[in-house]
Structure 1
Amino acid sequence: MTTTLQIRIDAKTKNAAQKTFRSMGLDMSSGVKLYLTQVMHTKSIPFPVWSFDYLPREKKLQIVKE
């Protein structure tokens, strides 16, 4: 059985991810399924995550500008 997942994401991120997935022969749905399956199997996010508070001021400003 399958279900539908709706997410809101900015167009720039969506288009970049879609381009990357296509280069690997995947569509967006398959790429998201791979990510969620990895999270399920490892019970973790498959990349490092850190608190915004611990970033240097310059990095925070860069992120906000993007």
Structure 2
Amino acid sequence: MTTWHRVNDNGTPVSFSYEADARRNVTLTVEEVEGLMRAGGWTPGPIPTPPTPRSVADIGFPLCG
């Protein structure tokens, strides 16, 4: 299975996956192809997890003086 992801115009992460048949072909409807082409900006792989904010315990000292 192959997964692609991107951030849409509203800032929402979206993804899609597909699986090729035995002949390595994937069947899409016209609407699916047009939607993917129109959207553009796809990147291979699943949606990456955002980094977590660092806390005082992570860096070992307070952030303000």
TM-score, normalised to structure 1's length? Answer: 0.27
Pick the structure with greater CA Rg. 2
Q: Which has the higher helix share?
A: 1
Higher relative contact order (CA 8 A, sep 6+): 2
Alignment TM-score, normalising by the size of structure 2: 0.28
Give 1 or 2: higher strand fraction: 2
